[in-house]
Structure 1
Amino acid sequence: MQRVPQHLADGILLARLMGFRKGEVFALTVDQVDFQNRGVWLEASSTKANRAEFISAGTEAMEVLTRLVAQARGWKQLHLLTYQRGEKGKRLPVKNPKRAWQTAMKALGLQYRFHDTKASYVTAVAHVATAAVTQQLARHRSYETTKRYLRVADQAARNAVEAIPMKAIANAVASPSRKQESQTDGMAATKAPQEPGKEKALEPLGSKAFPLPSEMVGATGFEPATLRPPV
């Protein structure tokens, strides 16, 4: 099987870890990496929104960036991702990885776009973050765009819940652990008796202390009262 070019593999990895677009990741230079603030500065000319942006990097992403910066400096290159033209040719920045991407997809038997790496990043964020944080990290101007990724994450969560065997849950609820039983018994044994005169404050709704209109039902203290249905 044909090997995926290293510059393409590194570009895919960074896009998946930090949500870069294709044009952003392959244009990255050494001076854009901020080790103090742990992230990458993007110039306005390289972003879709045409505004300067700072992209935070997690631990794994910083490890990749550190390796690429050291590699670029060793090759005396400005760009993080470069390729070598021929076995002894000089290294050049990647202008468009379209050909390498198509070759890699064919070799792997897959059919994906490079932008799918960003979609994968945003969906992963949507699983663990709020809608506002997801939109911020995705760098979407419109919340409507972010909602598409949120729906995918929500559906995945629902599928996971539906896959849980309900019988196992029922057994777990019906059979408390010994630790739970001991804690419950201890609470019952140490519960102080009620002081005289305070019983009425603990009576439920619908008792003599808290009478309810006869036309209302369902008011147990744990659910809203609802009108009695017509006979």
Structure 2
Amino acid sequence: MKTFFKIENMRLFQRENGIWYVEFYRGKKKSLGTRDRKLAERLFKELQKEALKGKLIFLEKTQRITLDEFIQEYVTYAEAVKAPTTAYRDKYALQKFREFLGNISLAIINVKRLEDYITFLRARGRKASSINIELRHLKSAFSKAKEWGYLRENPFAKIKLLKEEKTPPAFILPDEMKKIFDYLREKDLIFYKLVFFTLETGARRIEVLRARWEDIDWKRKIIILHGKGNKKRVIPLSSRLEKVLEGERKDKGKLFPYEHHDTLSHKWQKVMKALGLKYRFHDIRHTTASWLVMNGVSLKVVQELLGHSDIRTTQIYAHLAPEVLREAIETGLRVTPKIHPVELKVVK
């Protein structure tokens, strides 16, 4: 195999069968379909001109890939290397995007089409926070499309996330939680124990679904929770939760017989509808944090219990502890000179 030209990450070469080929970057090869050297050189120079203009379009299958083909390939990849919940959300975001655009070529997806999709989602009443989650998953997928050589640029890189309205997290009031527990004890004892477990641990859905009996150390009274990315955190086993779980105690196996996080959300919404309440399943976790803060537990301790990697995430609950914050100001600024209000003079 002889190389006759090598220009701008491209080279022209002839294989043993006499056919001339062009090799592009990253080892991609394309037959020129001729054994004629002069014709091959002329075609190579034309391709080089197109490459220098930035308009070179590879004629191989990967450059003609459709959205359906990419989704199938990417979902297979995501399910193999990502956490199940993340892979599921990737798939969901791509499927919704496909429903809007249709099975078009990946190469013609541009910023205008993305902005049209965002407008469509907003017109349907989707919240900015929900749309942003979807955009992040799509951006990640299309970054991989670029990495695989299917796209020259990621169109999502030019899309800014929507401005989200910062609202305090919703939490369930004590009398409402009692109402929920009374209902579940009568209607669904297994789900009652799951909700109780979630409240006592502040666990995320994925942590609840992955909870196993062998993760409970009854002597040390701790529970090991397994979260996203196989992260682990240790939570104290309260006497209340111990009492609820004691009757079902086993040596191994899943604590709860559910496989998918959507199952928890759907069952929870049925309970909310029956009781006339409007909370998400994730609000149980917010409730754990909120009740802790309102009872004087420091934000740093709440951060540790909930497994927040950044204290700023925990600070969304700070407004619930005005007395704690007041004490922090009073004790933390004791070095400030004591100035009596009557000693202050107004300068006109």
CA distance in 2, matches of 1:23, 1:10: 16
| TM superposition score normalised by structure 1 | 0.55
Q: What SS does the aligned partner of 2:253 have? A: coil
Q: What SS does the aligned partner of 2:248 have? A: helix
Q: Is the 8 A contact 1:33 1:65 kept in 2?
A: no
After superposition, the Cα gap between the structure-2 partners of 1:230 and 1:98, relative to the gap in structure 1 and judged at 3 Å, is closer
- Of 184, 191, 196 in structure 2, the residue corresponding to residue 8 of structure 1 is 191
CA distance in 2, matches of 1:27, 1:20: 10
State yes or no: 1:105 paired with 2:272: yes
CA distance in 2, matches of 1:108, 1:140: 31
CA distance in 2, matches of 1:227, 1:78: 69
Q: Is the 8 A contact 2:213 2:255 kept in 1?
A: yes
State yes or no: 1:60 paired with 2:240: yes
State yes or no: 1:151 paired with 2:300: no
- For residues 200-230 of structure 1, the C-alpha deviation after alignment (integer angstroms, 9 at most, x for no partner) is xxxxxxxxxxxxxxxxxxxxxx943746556
- Of 251, 273, 298 in structure 2, the residue corresponding to residue 130 of structure 1 is 298
- For residues 4-43 of structure 1, the C-alpha deviation after alignment (integer angstroms, 9 at most, x for no partner) is 4222211111111111112211321110111122111123
Q: Name the aligned partner's letter for residue 59 of structure 1.
A: S
Q: CA RMSD in A?
A: 3.2
Match of 2:222 in 1: 39
| TM superposition score normalised by structure 2 | 0.38
Q: Is the 8 A contact 1:7 1:81 kept in 2?
A: yes
Match of 1:21 in 2: 204
By relative contact order (CA 8 Å, sep 6+), the higher-ranking structure is 1
How many residues get paired? 150
After superposition, the Cα gap between the structure-2 partners of 1:62 and 1:68, relative to the gap in structure 1 and judged at 3 Å, is same
Alignment of 1:1-231 (within 5 A): 4-43=187-226, 47-48=227-228, 50-69=230-249, 72=250, 78-82=253-257, 93-95=258-260, 96-127=263-294, 128-154=296-322, 223-224=338-339, 226=343
- The alpha carbon displacement at 1:117 in A equals 0.6
Q: Is the 8 A contact 2:209 2:256 kept in 1?
A: yes
Q: Is the 8 A contact 1:4 1:104 kept in 2?
A: no
Unaligned runs of 5+ in 2: 1-182, 327-336
Q: Which structure carries more helix by proportion?
A: 2
- For residues 42-64 of structure 1, the C-alpha deviation after alignment (integer angstroms, 9 at most, x for no partner) is 23xxx136422111122112222
CA distance in 2, matches of 1:102, 1:156: 34
- The alpha carbon displacement at 1:67 in A equals 2.7
CA distance in 2, matches of 1:138, 1:126: 12
CA distance in 1, matches of 2:344, 2:268: 64
- The alpha carbon displacement at 1:104 in A equals 1.6
- The alpha carbon displacement at 1:66 in A equals 2.3
